[in-house]
């Protein structure tokens, strides 16, 4: 006879439980599924956490004017950008993945979703941008693709406007040779210790002249 395991009422379970902020949600499952199904258009395995998304949005400079989010995925960072008070008419989303582009149009019907690659940011007829917010895993991109994306972004950014990027590593997720070639410098805007893994948010700026 098998005797079921019992434990005193109120005793802690032996099963490991992650803190709530680290538990997978529906967006995580969707993101992971798309990463496995369409790795050519989804290079990350999970969306940004709420804490990281909030930190990204806080790095957007005050002011007015249009901005672009690259690789919004399921819209975690998008929600935080809108919560900053950005006008929906000013926020443009660029998403290459078919599933995500459709989902974003459903979730954010007041926003403009451009279904194309990030390197197309300069061909959309937008005015000079106050910021580019990137959810792209730049570190995993080959150097030629990094170069195309950054060149296009900085051609579209207003003078002095930032390219906002997060990374899980300690350094800048752009090849140093490319940083020099494009006359870019990086500043740390935030460190998100509550993210899993911890992340930093950087702003890239182009040197004047």
| Model pLDDT, residue 149 | 97
Q: What is the pLDDT of residues 86-126, one digit of tens each?
A: 999 999 999 999 999 999 999 999 999 999 999 999 999 99
Classify domain 49-206 by CATH number.
3.40.50.150
Write down the pLDDT at residue 197.
83
The predicted pLDDT at position 195 comes to 81
Q: What is the dihedral of CA 155, 157, 160, 166, to 10 degrees?
A: -110
Q: What is the mean pLDDT of each run of 10 residues along the chain (209 residues)?
A: 49 46 52 50 58 96 95 94 96 95 96 97 96 93 94 97 94 94 97 88 89
Domain ranges (residues) in the chain: 49-206
């Amino acid at each position: 006879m098998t005797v079921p395991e019992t434990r005193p009422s109120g005793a802690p379970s032996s099963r490991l439980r992650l803190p709530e902020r680290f538990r997978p949600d529906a967006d995580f499952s969707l993101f992971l599924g798309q990463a496995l199904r369409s790795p050519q258009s989804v290079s990350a395995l999970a969306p940004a956490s709420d804490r990281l998304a909030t930190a990204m949005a806080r790095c957007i400079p005050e002011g007015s004017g249009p901005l672009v989010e690259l690789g919004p995925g399921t819209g975690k960072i998008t929600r935080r950008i809108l919560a900053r008070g950005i006008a929906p008419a000013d926020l443009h989303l660029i998403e290459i993945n078919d599933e995500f582009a459709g989902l974003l149009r459903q979730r954010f019907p007041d926003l403009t979703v451009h279904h194309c690659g990030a390197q197309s940011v300069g061909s959309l007829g937008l005015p000079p941008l106050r910021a580019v917010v990137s959810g792209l895993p730049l570190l995993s991109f080959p150097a030629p693709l990094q170069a195309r994306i950054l060149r296009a972004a900085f051609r579209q950014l207003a003078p002095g406007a930032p390219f906002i990027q997060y990374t899980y590593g300690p350094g800048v997720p752009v090849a140093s040779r490319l940083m020099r070639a494009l006359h870019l410098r990086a500043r740390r805007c935030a460190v998100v210790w509550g993210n899993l893994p911890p992340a930093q948010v950087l702003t890239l700026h182009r040197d004047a002249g």
